[in-house]
Amino acid sequence: MAAQVLTATDVKNAASSGGVLHAGPGTLVTALAADLAKDLGVTIVEGNVPVPEPAASVPAPARADTTADRVADTDELTDRIRAIVASVMARGETVTPAPVTRRHPVKHATQTDATMEPFPYPGPPPGMQVRTGDVVTGDDGAPMAAGYMEITAGEFPWTLTYDEVQIVLEGELHLGGDAGGKVGRPGDVLYVPKGSSITFGTPSWAKFVYVTFPANWEDQIG
């Protein structure tokens, strides 16, 4: 009987079908086939072909989460939340939603926005004109108020039951009393703390911005 010859073609077929090539007794393996088997990682088994044993069971690889799995998890969470809400309602408890805080918009006011009106409180002497115009109030959601004040020559006393900052725009603003004779000129900033008894005055004319805290300063006047 002619000897069986194992060729490079046989090695290539074995590489694509398991990587093991069985050669019966007396099989001639060509040099090319042997080199190719090394290159392709094919094992040449010489001798009788063994009877293959049943393959051992290999545990299935872990399965990656799919969209269906995530949907199932979401449904489970939803069911839990519903169960909690139902339990709370069964006990007669009230679930109060978190309050929604509304933020007021930024306000831009100019001098022309102020409606200047006579100062409504006693104090200014006859002949002295005092006019004010609010531009920011508590209605704007602000914790402070702001406006414009104009005064002509003279002075009048005032006790502050609130904190106030004055920013001089025109003329000279003279603060007496507890202020100790401070003089504010255009661009100057004056701070008068709550509880101060001062005098507002000017030798000729003054216009300034006032900023008060709290916004409802008029409610603080006794």
* DSSP code at position 216: T
| Same domain? 129 vs 209 | yes
The arithmetic mean of pLDDT across residues 110-127, rounded, is 93
Q: In terms of domains, do 205 and 126 share one?
A: yes
pLDDT in tens, 10-68: 877 877 777 777 777 777 777 777 787 787 777 877 765 444 455 555 555 555 556 66
What's the pTM?
A: 0.55
Say how many domains are in the chain: 2
Please check whether residues 38 and 118 belong to one and the same domain. Answer: no
- pLDDT tier, 86 (very low <50, low <70, confident <90, very high otherwise): confident
Q: Do 14 and 36 touch, CB atoms closer than 8 A?
A: no
pLDDT at 93: 59
* Amino acid at position 201, single letter: G
Average pLDDT over residues 113-134: 94
Q: Are residues 38 and 132 in the same domain?
A: no
Report the mean per-residue pLDDT for the chain.
83
Residue 119 has pLDDT above 80, yes or no: yes
pLDDT digits (tens, 9 = 90+) for 8-24: 788 778 777 777 777 77
In terms of domains, do 120 and 205 share one?
A: yes
What is the mean pLDDT of the segment spanning 209-216? 95
Report pLDDT digits (tens) over 144-183.
999 999 999 999 999 999 999 999 999 999 999 999 999 9
- With respect to residue 148, please indicate whether it lies within any of the assigned structural domains: yes
Q: Are residues 122 and 215 in the same domain?
A: yes
Domain co-membership, 132 together with 215:
yes
Other Cβ atoms less than 10 A from the Cβ of 120: the count is 8
- Whether residue 214 lies inside any domain: the answer is yes
CATH (domain of 133): 2.60.120.10
Evaluate whether residue 39 is within a structural domain: yes
Q: In this structure, is residue 79 part of a structural domain?
A: no
| Cα–Cα nearest to 183, from 208, 211, 158 | 208
Asked, for residue 65, whether it belongs to a domain, the answer is no
Do 120 and 209 fall within a single domain? yes
**122 and 210 in a common domain:** yes
Among 143, 121, 142, 123, smallest CA distance to 132 is for 121
Q: What's the domain range around 27? A: 5-46
What are the residues whose beta carbons fall under 8 Å from the beta carbon of 88, sequence distance 6 or more?
95
- Specify if 121 maps to a domain: yes
CA–CA gap between residue 158 and residue 162 (Å, rounded): 11
In a domain, 58, yes or no: no
Could you tell me if 177 and 196 are in contact, meaning their C-beta atoms sit under 8 angstroms apart? yes
Examine residue 146 and state whether it is found in any structural domain, yes or no.
yes
